[in-house]
Amino acid sequence: MKISVIGAGYVGLVTGSCFADLGNDVICVDNDASKIKKLKSGKIPIYEPGLEELIKLNVKEGRLSFSSDIKNSVSRSEVIFICVGTPPKNNGEADLTFIEGVSRDIALSMSSYKLIVEKSTVPVNTGEWVERTIKVHNPRNVKFDVASNPEFLREGSAIKDFMNPDRVIIGVKSKKAKDILIELYRPLKSEIIITDIKSAELIKHAANSFLAMKISFINSISNVCDRLGADVNEVSRGIGLDRRIGKDFLNAGIGFGGFCFPKDLGAFIRISEKCGYDFGILKEVQRVNDMQKSVLVKKVEEMIWNLQDKTVGVLGLSFKPDTDDIRAIGIISILVKEGARIRAYDPAAMVKAKGVLGARVKFCKDAYDVAKNCDCIIVATEWNEFKELDLKKMKKLMRQPVIIDGRNIYDPETVKLLGFKYSGMGRR
Ligand code: UDX
The residues that bridge with 377 in the sheet, in sequence order, are 313, 403
Q: Is residue 390 located within the same domain as residue 360?
A: yes
pLDDT at 11 over 80: yes
Decide if 15 is inside a domain. Answer: yes
Q: Among the three residues 171, 195, 219, which one is the final residue of a domain in this structure?
A: 195
Q: Is residue 112 located within the same domain as residue 31?
A: yes
Expressed as residue numbers, the domain containing 375 is: 210-424
Q: Is residue 138 located within the same domain as residue 232?
A: no
Q: Is residue 115 located within the same domain as residue 83?
A: yes
The CA 14 to ligand 1 mean position distance, Å, reads: 17
What pLDDT was estimated at residue 357? 86
Alpha carbon 80 to its chain centroid, in Å, reads: 23
Q: Is residue 244 located within the same domain as residue 178?
A: no
Alpha carbon 122 to its chain centroid, in Å, reads: 15
Number of domains in the chain: 2
Decide if 260 is inside a domain. Answer: yes
Which ligand 1 atom sits closest to the C-alpha of 257? 23
Q: Is residue 182 located within the same domain as residue 215?
A: no
In the DSSP assignment, the letter for residue 28 is: E
Chain segment 78-121, per-residue pLDDT in tens = 999 999 998 889 998 889 999 999 999 999 999 999 999 999 88
Please name the residue whose Cα sits nearest to atom 31 of ligand 1: 251
What pLDDT was estimated at residue 428? 73
Decide if 203 is inside a domain. Answer: no
Decide if 201 is inside a domain. Answer: no
Decide if 202 is inside a domain. Answer: no
Decide if 336 is inside a domain. Answer: yes
Q: Is residue 322 located within the same domain as residue 412?
A: yes
Please name the residue whose Cα sits nearest to atom 9 of ligand 1: 260
- Is residue 364 flagged as an active site residue? no
We report the CATH number of the domain holding residue 158 as 3.40.50.720
Q: Is residue 290 located within the same domain as residue 162?
A: no
Q: Among the three residues 142, 165, 195, which one is the final residue of a domain in this structure?
A: 195
Chain segment 243-294, per-residue pLDDT in tens = 999 999 999 999 999 888 999 999 999 999 999 999 999 999 999 999 999 9
Decide if 205 is inside a domain. Answer: no
The CA 328 to ligand 1 mean position distance, Å, reads: 15
Which ligand 1 atom sits closest to the C-alpha of 382? 25
Q: Is residue 171 located within the same domain as residue 262?
A: no
Q: Write down how long the chain is.
A: 428
Chain segment 350-361, per-residue pLDDT in tens = 999 999 888 889
Q: Is residue 191 located within the same domain as residue 214?
A: no
Query: Do residues 116 and 99 lie in contact, with contact meaning Cβ atoms separated by under 8 Å?
Result: no
Q: Is residue 191 located within the same domain as residue 216?
A: no
pLDDT at 328 over 70: no
Q: Which of 18, 83, 260, 376 is catalytic?
A: 260
**How far, in Å, CA of 274 to CA of 256, rounded?**
25
Which ligand 1 atom sits closest to the C-alpha of 158? 12
- Out of 46, 210, 211, 236, mutate this one to test ligand 1's pocket (max ligand atoms within 8 Å of CB): namely 211
Decide if 170 is inside a domain. Answer: yes
Q: Is residue 123 located within the same domain as residue 261?
A: no
Chain-wide mean pLDDT for the chain? Answer: 95
Chain segment 120-153, per-residue pLDDT in tens = 888 888 999 999 999 999 988 999 999 999 999 9
Q: Among the three residues 130, 161, 195, which one is the final residue of a domain in this structure?
A: 195
Residue 341, number of CB atoms within 10 A of its CB: 19
Report whether residue 249 contacts ligand 1, using a CB cutoff of 6 Å. Answer: yes
**How far, in Å, CA of 298 to CA of 58, rounded?**
50
Kindly report which listed range (83-92, 170-179, 193-202, 372-381) carries the lowest average pLDDT score: 83-92
The whole-number average pLDDT for the span 399-413 is 97
What pLDDT was estimated at residue 322? 86
